[in-house]
Chain A
C-alpha cells in the first residue's frame, strides 16, 4: 500500500513554546498596546491635569474643617485621625498616584463582556492565556499613561511641595511605598479580573460590579483617610483588601504606618495578592470548564 493521502496525516501537536518564544509574544503584546495608547497623548496630558481640579475643592473644604476645630496651620495644628491639614492635602495627592496604579477602568466589565459575546473562545484556541494577555495589555496601558502623566503629576507635586511637611521619607519607607504601588497595581488587576470571571456564572454583572466599585471607592480611602472612620468600623475596614488600592501607599509615604509594623503590613499585602492571584486562576479554570461556545 502506498502512503496515506496527505489530508489524513495526523500532525503531531505543536511543541509548547519555549521561554524565548513566550517573551517574544509578551513583548509584541506590550508594543502593540503601547502604540495604541500613545496616539491621543495631548488630550491625555490635559485630561490628567484636569483630574487634579476636584482636589482644589477638597483642600478648601478641609481647611474650613480644620479651621473650625483649631488651627489649620502654624505651630500647633489640629489633627483628624492622625492627619494635620497639610498631611490631608498631601494625602489626596498621593492617593492620585496610588489610583494611577491600582485603578483598572473597564477590566471586569470587559472580561464579562468577552465571556458573554463569546470572544473568550479565542483564548481557548490560540496559545495565549487570557489573564496573561490582559495583564500585559494593562501594564502597557499603564506604562503609556505614566510616560505622559509624569509631566502633569510632576507639575502639581512641585506646586504643592509645601504640603509635604516632613519631606521625603527614609529610603526603606520609600522602597516600601514603591512596592506597595506595584502590589496595588497587581491587587487591583487580579481583584477586578476575578470579579469579571463572575461572568462565567451570571450573564449580567454590571449591577454587581457597580456595588463593588462603590464599596471599593469608599473603603479604599479615595475619599478620606481611613483612620477618620469611627473605631467600630475601622478595624473591619483595615482587614479588607480595598485599602491597598489608595490608602495604604499614601499612608506609607506620609509615615502614618509605624516603621516597626511596616514589614508585617507589607507581608499581609503580599498574602492578599497571592490570594487574589489564586482566586482569579481558580475562577478562570472553573469558568472555562462551564463555558460552552457555539458557532464561529
Chain B
C-alpha cells in the first residue's frame, strides 16, 4: 500500500478512537463545547463594546467592524484547529517525556513525529470552528450588503484564504512541536500551555497595531523570528482586504508567509529529531 495512504488510515483510526472516547462521556463533551462557545461569546461581546466607541482599529488601517470580525473569525478557525488536533498531543508529549512513555512511541513502526502529533483529537474544540464560521458568514454578509463600497470576495481570494489558513495552522503546529520538544531538555514543561497562550496572544490582532514606538521590536520579532504575527494576519488580509487597492507590501507579506511556513516546518522537524537524540528514558 502507498505510504501516504497508510498514514491517512492511521490518522483516521486515531480520529475515530478519539470520537468514540468523546461520545462515551457525552454530557462532558457537550459541556466542553458550551464552555468554549461561552468564551467565544464573551470575546465577541468585548469587541462589540469596543466598536460601540470606535469605527476602526487604528487610524487608516481599514479594519472596520465587519473586517475586524472577519479577522476574529480567522483567529477562531486557526485556534480551534490547533486546539482540536495538536494541543492535546503536545501536552501529552511533554508528559510522555517525563514519565518515559515515549519509549513505546519510539518502538512503533511509524514516524515518531506523526505518531506524537496526531494521536488524539479533541473534537469538542471544533465547536469554535463553527462559531468562527458563524462570525465569518455574518461579517461577509454585512460586507456584501453595506451601502458604501460593498465587497464580495472573488473565488481566487477565497482559495488563497483557505491556502493561507492552512499555512497559518502549520506555522502554529511547528511552533507547538518546537515548544514541546524543549521539554526533553527541561525535563518538565507544565507551563507549556501558559507560554503558548502568551505567545499566540500576539497573533490575535491586526499587526499594524504594533507598528509604532516600542511595538516595533515586537513587530519585527514576531514577523521574522517567531512568525506568529503572520498566522492570522495573512489569510485575514487576503479575505477582508482592509486596504483598497492592496498595497505592495501586502503581497510581499503573503510571499514571506509562504516561505515561513516551509521554513518553520523544517526547523521544527529538525528540532524534534534533535530532541529525540537527547532523550534519555525515564524508566528505572
Distance to closest chain A CB from B47 (angstroms)? 10
User: A53–B198 contact, CB under 8 A?
Assistant: yes
User: B31–A206 contact, CB under 8 A?
Assistant: yes
Known: A206-B31, A218-B42. A67 touches B195 (CB 8 A): no
A63 at the A/B interface (Cβ < 8 Å)? yes
Which residues of A lie under 8 Å from residue B61 when comparing CB positions? 64, 68
- CB < 8 Å neighbour of A64 from B191, B194, B209: B209
Q: How far is the CA of A210 from the CA of B31 in the complex (A)?
A: 9
Q: How far is the CA of A214 from the CA of B202 in the complex (A)?
A: 23
User: B38–A210 contact, CB under 8 A?
Assistant: yes
User: B39–A214 contact, CB under 8 A?
Assistant: yes
- CB < 8 Å neighbour of A50 from B58, B194, B208, B212: B194
Contact with A along B41-63 (1 / 0, CB 8 A): 01001100110111111110100
Interface positions of B from 56 to 91, Cβ below 8 Å from A: 56-59, 61
User: B194–A223 contact, CB under 8 A?
Assistant: no
B29 at the A/B interface (Cβ < 8 Å)? no
User: A50–B57 contact, CB under 8 A?
Assistant: no
Interface of B is mostly: helix
User: A50–B49 contact, CB under 8 A?
Assistant: no
User: A224–B46 contact, CB under 8 A?
Assistant: yes
Q: How far is the CA of A24 from the CA of B184 in the complex (A)?
A: 46
User: A60–B201 contact, CB under 8 A?
Assistant: no
B210 at the A/B interface (Cβ < 8 Å)? yes
Closest to B35 in A: A210
B218 at the A/B interface (Cβ < 8 Å)? yes
A132 at the A/B interface (Cβ < 8 Å)? no
Interface size, chain B (Cβ < 8 Å) = 35
Interface positions of B from 249 to 263, Cβ below 8 Å from A: none
A74 at the A/B interface (Cβ < 8 Å)? no
Q: How far is the CA of A230 from the CA of B45 in the complex (A)?
A: 12
Interface positions of A from 39 to 66, Cβ below 8 Å from B: 43, 47, 50, 53-54, 56-57, 60-61, 63-65
User: A68–B52 contact, CB under 8 A?
Assistant: no
Closest to B199 in A: A53
Interface size class of A (residues with CB under 8 A): 20 to 34
A211 at the A/B interface (Cβ < 8 Å)? yes
Interface positions of B from 25 to 42, Cβ below 8 Å from A: 31, 34-35, 38-39, 42
B11 at the A/B interface (Cβ < 8 Å)? no
User: A207–B34 contact, CB under 8 A?
Assistant: yes
Contact with B along A201-224 (1 / 0, CB 8 A): 000001100110010011000011
Distance to closest chain A CB from B31 (angstroms)? 5
Known: A60-B215, A214-B39, A228-B52. A54 touches B198 (CB 8 A): yes
A229 at the A/B interface (Cβ < 8 Å)? yes
Which residues of A lie under 8 Å from residue B49 when comparing CB positions? 224, 228-230
- CB < 8 Å neighbour of B45 from A63, A206, A218: A218
Contact with A along B1-45 (1 / 0, CB 8 A): 000000000000000000000000000000100110011001001
User: B57–A63 contact, CB under 8 A?
Assistant: no
- CB < 8 Å neighbour of A228 from B53, B201, B204: B53
Known: A214-B42, A218-B42. A65 touches B50 (CB 8 A): yes
Known: A207-B34, A214-B39. A57 touches B205 (CB 8 A): yes
Q: Which 7 A-B pairs have the closest CB atoms?
A: A64-B58, A64-B209, A53-B198, A60-B209, A68-B59, A80-B53, A69-B54
Question: Given known contacts A64-B206, A214-B35, A214-B38, what 19 new A-B pairs fall within 8 Å (CB)?
Answer: A47-B191, A50-B195, A57-B202, A57-B204, A57-B205, A60-B205, A61-B57, A64-B57, A64-B58, A64-B61, A65-B54, A65-B58, A67-B58, A68-B55, A68-B56, A69-B54, A80-B53, A224-B50, A229-B49
